[in-house]
Amino acid sequence: GENVEQHPSTLSVQEGDSAVIKCTYSDSASNYFPWYKQELGKRPQLIIDIRSNVGEKKDQRIAVTLNKTAKHFSLHITETQPEDSAVYFCAASMGNEKLTFGTGTRLTIIP
Amino acid sequence: DVKVTQSSRYLVKRTGEKVFLECVQDMDHENMFWYRQDPGLGLRLIYFSYDVKMKEKGDIPEGYSVSREKKERFSLILESASTNQTSMYLCASSTRTKGSEQYFGPGTRLTVT
């Protein structure tokens, strides 16, 4: 089955700086890659996703890039703000509705 | 607005007890999922269902079973709870469209003593 690795497990950045979280996947058949954000004590929520026919997608301060050849994708958050502090999960899907999640990255924004 | 609810936020059970966790969604979603969340291990899929009375094993089904008698309700059953099943359990639902967003419930923190 699919295996998704996520790094780093924890990340601290100064407010206003950028944060990058990286994931790799094992199955070249995967074609859908969402990112979920889980704030403390709350449920995970989708923040951005990318499909395998696209190399990059942006939504305001967040962007995701995909390298199909290397089988890795990354989340980029620019101009970080305190409300960006959360656990972020990447995931991969092989075209069905089932997701395989990474182990999560705890992002802390230092004021 | 999609709403996914779970029967309990916190639950404490004894080893060997049969435990039922219930999940209800109100958006007529075909797919429903049960995950467990443990520190450092992320979200791991236990079981999922594509339709009423349908179920498929996820990555860690051992020690669990599920029931989906109605479209809006998906139950997770621990036949004989063990201490290693102490965890946060999250339910989710989605439409049948490939690559559709999964909407999560608030989670149930289960402690087995």
What is the layout of strands, in order, in the sheet containing A56-59? Answer: A4-7, A19-25, A72-77, A62-67, A56-59
Name every chain A residue with its beta carbon within 8 A of the beta carbon of B106.
42-43
pLDDT of amino acid A56? 95
CA angle B87, B90, B91 (to 5 degrees): 145
- B87 in reach of chain A (CB within 8 A): no
pLDDT at B96: 85
pLDDT digits (tens, 9 = 90+) for B20-56: 999 999 999 999 999 999 999 999 999 999 999 899 9
CB contact under 8 A, A102 and B96: no
Instruction: Report the pLDDT averaged over residues A70-94.
Output: 97
Of A31, A42, A103, Cβ closest to residue B42 = A103
3-state secondary structure A11-67: EEEECCCCEEEEEEECCCCCCEEEEEEECCCCCCEEEEEEECCCCEEEECCEEEEEE
Q: Is the pLDDT at B75 greater than 90, yes or no?
A: yes
Percent of chain B's residues with pLDDT above 90 = 90
In Å, how far is B77's CA from the nearest CA of chain A? 20
Sorting pLDDT into bands at 50, 70 and 90, what band is B2? low
Nearest-CB residue to A97 (from B41, B42, B96):
B96
